[in-house]
Structure 1
């Protein structure tokens, strides 16, 4: 069982490789990373399905979001990766492992892909890489993900990666663009013992 200051999260993770991708930590001090995070957060398709607790509307709020993720890594509560192709430094999207509960060896995973990289299997391959890494390096037993009901693309990504549908979480996520209304989400999960 990992301690609160899990060395896999608190020491710098330079990159995770697999399936033709590299998962690399975001850098809040990089203007390029900040601009890319902002572009992802403002993408209409992202906003249709996701409403961050803390809105990202400009470069400063994007930088703060990346700093918050770095803080979560330092505290052993999560890790955020930008997705790149194996031979490139161009960001294709994001995958993050958060809400790490070391006692239960469970965490949550979330992802998004930039518009120009959609339809190429980026989310599927990134989820496979992140899941394999979470089980082998973080010692997790269970990895969960949820998505708003109706987000069929995310549902298919989860199922292709062995994340079984476990049910509907009522009123579990914000409505698009609102913090005062909720919608249902589908819960998927994969265990380290699953095929």
Structure 2
């Protein structure tokens, strides 16, 4: 694994801009970023639908996670963006292009939004912007998106952004806060050749 120290954090991916939002790399040196990551990934609504392989429970864990994401960005296997308010710079949430497989031109996307930013179409704007970038700048052909069965909000975001429902994956995700039980996942995907959605 590539080592990236805090003094030489690379920024291999550009900032992205859309009306009302700016996407930039998470910064493990920023106390505000670290606190936002911790708050987002410990939020009860996030935990209801997601069971991270390595749960973050404190600021040190959040900082280490952001450092790991910086390394993955340098290696080209993942691009993790902090979604911010375009005017104030306030952190609103996260969107990532993960498990990038350049040989297959395939990746997976995931996102979450902080409680105070929900209901403002932040995830929809961020996903539409990120997908456009992944298809053009990264040259990807297929983006996959999975969410726990029953997560209606995430399903609506996916559909608004042109990610078609392709089926249900049985037992493909951990149950909330458990690693001994599984639940089904809705699989959505979008191809570079699909028409742009009308947002």
| Category of TM-score, reference length = shorter chain | over 0.9
What is the match of residue 5 of structure 2?
none
Q: Secondary structure at the match of 2:94?
A: strand
Q: Could you tell me how far apart the structure 1 residues matched to 2:155 and 2:166 are?
A: 12
Q: Could you tell me how far apart the structure 2 residues matched to 1:11 and 1:104 are?
A: 24
1:115 aligns to 2:115 (yes or no): yes
Note if contact 1:93-1:113 (Cα within 8 Å) is conserved in structure 2: yes
Q: Secondary structure at the match of 1:140?
A: coil
What is the match of residue 70 of structure 1?
70
What is the match of residue 166 of structure 1?
166
Q: Could you tell me how far apart the structure 2 residues matched to 1:78 and 1:88 are?
A: 26
| Deviations 1:132-176, CA, capped at 9 Å, x for gaps | 010111000000100000000000000000000000111111110
What is the match of residue 192 of structure 2?
192
Which shows bigger deviation, 12-21 or 103-112? 12-21
1:16 aligns to 2:16 (yes or no): yes
Q: What do you get for the CA RMSD once the two structures are aligned? A: 1.0
Note if contact 1:142-1:191 (Cα within 8 Å) is conserved in structure 2: yes
TM-score (normalizing by structure 2): 0.91
What is the match of residue 5 of structure 1?
none
Note if contact 1:80-1:97 (Cα within 8 Å) is conserved in structure 2: yes
CA drift of 1:12 comes to: 3.0
CA drift of 1:15 comes to: 0.9
Matches within 5 A, 1:85-96: 85-96=85-96
What is the match of residue 6 of structure 2?
none
What is the match of residue 3 of structure 1?
none
Note if contact 1:77-1:99 (Cα within 8 Å) is conserved in structure 2: yes
What is the match of residue 33 of structure 1?
33
Note if contact 2:165-2:189 (Cα within 8 Å) is conserved in structure 1: yes
CA drift of 1:95 comes to: 0.2
Which shows bigger deviation, 80-89 or 159-168? 80-89
Q: Could you tell me how far apart the structure 2 residues matched to 1:143 and 1:165 are?
A: 12
Query: Cα distance 1:14–1:133, how it changes in 2: closer, same or farther (>3 A)?
Result: closer
TM-score (normalizing by structure 1): 0.93
Note if contact 1:92-1:113 (Cα within 8 Å) is conserved in structure 2: yes
Moved over 2 A (4+): 10-14
CA drift of 1:19 comes to: 3.4
CA drift of 1:29 comes to: 1.4
